[in-house]
Amino acid sequence: MALLTGALFAQEPEPILDRPARLSDPAPMLPMTPAPVLDTMTLFPDAGDNASLEAAVDRHPWKFVLHGSATATYDSNIFISHDNEQEDYIFTIAPGMAIGRGDFKNELANLGSYEDRFNPDRSEMVETTNYIFLHYVPSVTLFANHSSEDTFDHDVTLDGQYEWKRLTLGLKARYQTLSLPDVDLGERVERHLFTGALTSKYDYSAKTSIELNFFNYLRNYLGNGTDSAEFRWQAWMNYQVRPKITLGVGFTYGMVNLSGGPNQNYEQLLARVRYRATEKIQFDLTAGGEIRDIHGITTRSNGIFGLGVSYAPFNGTTVFLQGYRRTVTSAGTPPANYNVTGIEAQVRQRFLRRYYFVIAAGYQNVEYDYFTTSNQRRDEIWYIHPSVGIDVTPWLSCELGAEFRQDSSTQLKSDFAETTAYFQFNVFF
């Protein structure tokens, strides 16, 4: 399991009210819950496990990876409704393929993983060789009793990195079609998402580095929901004060354009510390302030932070802890932003080499700031998600899991409880 990499500052513009990605979601990237069932070592065996196969693959500049999943899910409240809960059985089939050059195996295995969920910027370049790959996952989701909710979704990712002597450039673009419950809107909605990133890191000296990054996030709703486009420019100056400690100061400028509300500009002044104590413990903290101008209406200031800790106390045991506070633009009406403060924890245990047990839990406090009305809304969301998995063979795994989540909201229509249980088979060639 890869440890936390990069700055864990929680600035993701994606709606944070949605719970972490589940295996039962449409268009899954790889066989993963908030923690993957399979270790990278299992997904991609070392040459010692299959030397002839690895040698044959390495002789070709282009590499192919095929994978897929089949999932059966029970959901007690598919529309996350307060007073009209409807249960159903959901079946998802999602084959996938990646083609690329270079050593992109770890990047592919970590797509959508827990440690990247609150770090979409990935402004600290990963330590790996040059690579580029294109990854596509179509998925079919069928409902036993609500056939009108059946969907055919797509998930396409382009990811690459190239490193010179001092300069490293990164590219990431992802397009998704999704039909899922949206806690912000309080219903199941179909939406198209596009995220993109251009990242750069220049090593000015052995201890000093500079980062210049650009990110964008486009959100298009088919039906209810306010479309938005967010663009963000970010600059960092980093200094390695000790071999294991790096400090940084950063500035962010962002723009948010809404289809049904006032546009926004924001600036953030940030400070960051990264501590790489050992192979067993890693620590990231980013904190700062944000000033946000809602055009023609008001100006808001807010504190923001992101904290990430990864700890591996024993062989086969990994503990993750993340905390965050950020401002996100709502897709609802009347137009609003919401400030979300949350914490997530996860413990993952491997035993007998092929078996895994994972338990994850989280809590979010969400406060809405409406621009044009005196409406008030506050949500308290928590979830718990246990799961067990087994590597049946080097290319086949299965997982059994469940999740309970609850939203206690001051708006009655947004108040709900949901229980899900799933069983999934994964193949990876």
Q: Which residue has the higher pLDDT, 334 or 10?
A: 334
Q: Which residue has the higher pLDDT, 357 or 61?
A: 357
246-256 pLDDT, tens digit per residue, is 999 999 999 99
> 23 pLDDT band (50/70/90 cuts)?
very low
> 11 pLDDT band (50/70/90 cuts)?
very low
DSSP letter at 30 equals: S
Q: What are the distances in angstroms from CA 213 to CA 28, 47, 357?
A: 27, 36, 37
Sort strands 131-143 and 88-102 into parallel, antiparallel or unpaired: antiparallel
pLDDT at 52: 38
Rounded Cα gap, residues 146 and 383, in angstroms: 25
Q: How many helices (H) and strands (E) does the chain have?
A: 4, 18
Phi/psi-derived region of residue 24, left when phi > 0, alpha when psi is between -120 and 50, beta in every other case: alpha
In the predicted model, is pLDDT for residue 4 greater than 50? Answer: no
Sort strands 187-203 and 208-222 into parallel, antiparallel or unpaired: antiparallel
Tell me the CB-side half-sphere exposure of residue 219, using CA atoms within 13 A.
26
72-111 pLDDT, tens digit per residue, is 999 999 999 999 999 999 999 999 999 999 877 667 766 6
pLDDT at 104: 78
In the predicted model, is pLDDT for residue 352 greater than 80? Answer: yes
269-328 pLDDT, tens digit per residue, is 999 999 987 778 989 999 999 999 999 899 999 999 999 999 999 888 999 999 999 999
Mean predicted lDDT score pLDDT of the chain: 82
Q: Which residue has the higher pLDDT, 17 or 27?
A: 17
DSSP secondary structure of 233-302: EEEEEEEEEETTEEEEEEEEEEEEEESSS--EEEEEEEEEEEEE-SSSEEEEEEEEEEEEEETTTEEEEE
In the predicted model, is pLDDT for residue 347 greater than 90? Answer: yes
pLDDT at 280: 86
DSSP secondary structure of 169-224: EEEEEEEEEEEEEETTTTEEEEEEEEEEEEEEEEE-SSSEEEEEEEEEEEEEEESS
Please count the other Cβ atoms lying within 10 Å of the Cβ belonging to residue 7: 27
For residue 93, what are its two tokens? 């089939």
- Lowest-confidence segment of 11-20, 362-371, 386-395 by average pLDDT: 11-20
> 363 pLDDT band (50/70/90 cuts)?
very high
- Residue tagged 């890693």 (tokens): 282
Q: What are the distances in angstroms from CA 347 to CA 20, 201, 359, 377?
A: 15, 32, 6, 32
pLDDT at 73: 97
> 49 pLDDT band (50/70/90 cuts)?
very low
Express as a percent the part of the chain with pLDDT over 90. Answer: 64
- Lowest-confidence segment of 41-55, 315-329, 358-372 by average pLDDT: 41-55
204-263 pLDDT, tens digit per residue, is 999 999 999 999 999 999 988 899 999 999 999 999 999 899 999 999 999 999 998 899
Rounded Cα gap, residues 139 and 205, in angstroms: 47
Closest CA to 337 of 305, 307, 297: 297
Q: Is residue 342 helix, strand or coil?
A: strand
pLDDT at 315: 85
Mean pLDDT value of segment 399-412: 94
Q: Is residue 133 helix, strand or coil?
A: strand
Is the Cβ–Cβ distance between 230 and 195 less than 8 Å? no
State the Cα angle at 345 between 238 and 119, rounded to 5°. 35
Rounded Cα gap, residues 46 and 38, in angstroms: 14
pLDDT at 276: 85
For the stretch 262-267, contacts whose Cβ atoms lie closer than 8 Å and that sit 24 or more positions apart, written own/partner, are 262/294, 262/295, 262/296, 262/297, 262/335, 262/371, 263/295, 264/292, 264/293, 264/294, 264/295, 264/329, 264/337, 265/292, 265/293, 265/295, 266/290, 266/291, 266/292, 266/293, 266/327, 267/291
DSSP letter at 73 equals: E
The CATH architecture that domain 40-428 belongs to is Beta Barrel (2.40)
129-160 pLDDT, tens digit per residue, is 789 999 999 999 999 999 999 999 999 999 99
In the predicted model, is pLDDT for residue 54 greater than 60? Answer: no
Q: Where are the domains of the chain?
A: 40-428
pLDDT at 399: 94
